[in-house]
Structure 1
C-alpha cells in the first residue's frame, strides 16, 4: 500500500506552470502572462477561474508574482526576481540527480537561535528539511556533502547564515552508517512518496510510450501534473548514496519515470502554451 500523492492545489500548479513555461524556456515567452491566458491554461488541468484569480492574488502578496503588461498592453503577471531565483535554484534538484558516493562525506549544520527569535528557528529547520537534511541530534542536522553550495546560498539569501556553522566530514561510528542513516531520515516515508509518484505517473508514461504523434494539450496536461507531483520529491529526498539505501529503494525508478516524461512531453506541451497565449 502507498501513500496518496499530495493534491494539486491551484497555487502549486501556478508555480509549476511558471517554472516549466513562464521563464522564456521551451520556446515560450519570458514576459508577463495575461490573466485570461493563465485562466485558459490552468483550466486545462482542472482549475477554475475563481481559483486561479485567488491563487494569483496570494502569490502576488507573497512577492512571487508581480503585475505587468504584455507587449500588446494586456494586464498580466510575471515572476518577481526572488521567484525567478528560487525557480532557477530548484532546476538542479528537479531536473537533475546528483551522483552521490559514500566517500564524498557529509555536511553538518550546527545551529543555535536565541529564544526571542524562535520564529527564525522554525524557518531554519523548515529550510534545512527542504534542502534534504536529516536530524542527527538536537541542533545538529546532516546531509550529503553535495548540497553544500545550495545550503550556503539559501541560508545567506534568507539571512539565516549568522545562526549556523557548517562542517564537512566523515561518519566514524559507532554503529554502521546504514543504521545511522535510518535514524537521521524517515526512509519509509520517503519510499512511500516515491511509490505514490510511481503509482500515479508510471501508467501515464506507459500510455505515452505507445502514443504517436504527441497531441500538445494532452502532453501539456500530463507533463504539468507530473512536474507538480515530482518537484516536491527532490527536496524531501537527499539522494543518499545507493550503498546506504534499502535494496528495493524506489527513488531511482521514480527519477527515471519523471525524466522520461520530461523528455517526451515538455516541448510538446510548450506548443499548447504558445497557442494559449495568443
Structure 2
C-alpha cells in the first residue's frame, strides 16, 4: 500500500470517530502550526486546512465559537473577516497540553511527588478540579488525593487560581525516604494510573502510524498538503495519549513500555514530513497583514532538532 493510501486510511479512521471533536483538532493545529507563526490566523485559513479531513466550514465556525465561549480563543474582527488567537488562559492550557509533545530530553527523577488534597473543596468544585487534574495526567491515590511526578508546584498554583479553587486546595511536595522504585511504589503507581490501558493506546498509535512511516522510507511521494494532513493527525493522536500519560520515570515503568517506541516513531515521522507541511502552511495561513511569518526558532528545536 502506498504512502498516499496509508494517509487516506488515517483520514478515514478519523472521520469515522463519533463525535468528531473538531475543537480538539483545532487546538492541535494551533499548537503545532499556528502558535510558532505568531498565533493569530484568519478563520478562512483554518477552514481550508481542515476541509481535507472532513471538517467543513460550518463545523469549523461552530467549533471556534465554542472555543471562544470556553476561553480558549479570542476573536478580532477586521472588516468582514474574523481572526482568532489563543487567550491568556488558553495559552497556559495549551502550554500544559503540549509541554511534553516535542521534548526528547530525558529527566532525572528525584523521587519527589506533587500531592493535591481536594478534601476541603465543595462537591461540584471538587469534581471539576479533579477532572482538570486528570486531564493533566494526575493519578489518584485515595479519596480526594491526587498525585503527579513531574508538574511543578508553581505551575499548579497558577492553575488552581484560574479554577477558583486556590484557597481551598492543599498542595504538598514530598521527599523520598525509601528506594525510588521499591515494590510498594511500583504497586502504587499501577493502582494510581491504568498503565495497561495507556500502553494499549500507545500500541494502537504505533499500529496506526507505523505503516505510513514504513511506506515513506521506501517511496515518499506525499504532497505538501498531504504532509500537513499527516502531521496534524500524527500530533493530534499523540497529544491525546500524552494528556493521560504522567511521563513516569523509567524505573517505575515496564521494561517493554510502548511509550518509548511511540515517541521515537512520532519523532521520525514528523522530521520526515515537517518541511513540506511548512510549504503548505506558507501558502495557506493568513492574518490581517497577509501571509503568516515563518515559524520561530523554537519550532526547529522540536524533537531534539529538526534541522539535524
The interval holding the TM-score normalised by the smaller chain is: 0.7 to 0.9
- 8 Å Cα contact 2:75/2:82 also seen in 1: yes
2:172 maps to which of 166, 179, 193: 166
Can you list the C-alpha shifts for 1:20-63, whole angstroms capped at 9, x where unaligned? 2222x1xx4533x2222221111022212221122122112222
Q: 1:171 to 1:127 in 2, by over 3 A?
A: farther
Tell me how far 1:74 sits from its aligned partner. Answer: 3.2
Structure 2 SS opposite 1:239: coil
What's the offset of the Cα at 1:160? Answer: 2.3
Quote the residue 2:83 is aligned against: 76
Give the number of aligned pairs: 268
2:31 matched to 1:19?
yes
Q: How large is the Cα RMSD of the aligned pairs?
A: 2.7
| 1:196 has 2:204 as partner | yes
Instruction: Choose the corresponding residue for 2:158, options 132, 153, 163.
Output: 153
Q: What secondary structure, in the 3-state scheme, does the structure 1 residue paired with 2:243 have?
A: helix
* Unaligned 5+ runs, structure 1: none
How far apart in 1 are the matches of 2:151 and 2:74? 33
Does residue 95 of structure 1 match 2:95?
Answer: no
Q: What residue number does 1:109 align with?
A: 116
Q: Could you say which residue in structure 2 is the equivalent of 1:209?
A: 217
Partner of 2:25: helix, strand, or coil?
helix
For residue 274 of structure 1, the aligned residue among 282, 286, 304 is 282
User: CA–CA distance in 2 between the matches of 1:86 and 1:241?
Assistant: 23
Alignment of 1:1-278 (within 5 A): 7=17, 9-23=21-35, 25=36, 28-31=37-40, 33-69=41-77, 74-96=81-103, 99-101=106-108, 103-114=110-121, 117-162=122-167, 163-170=169-176, 172=178, 176-212=184-220, 215-277=223-285
Distance of aligned partners of 1:103 and 1:37 in 2 relative to their CA distance in 1, 3 Å threshold: closer
CA deviations 1:191-231 (Å, max 9, x no partner) are: 11111111111222222333446631111000001111111
Q: Give the 3 Å change call, closer, same or farther, for CA 211–160 of structure 1 in structure 2.
A: farther
SS of the equivalent of 2:173 reads: strand
Deviation at 1:169, TM superposition (A): 2.3
Q: TM-score, normalised by structure 1?
A: 0.84
CA contact (8 A) 1:106 1:171 kept: no
Secondary structure of residue in 1 paired with 2:247: coil
Question: Given the two structures, how large is their TM-score scaled by the length of structure 2?
Answer: 0.77
Q: SS of 1:183's equivalent? A: helix
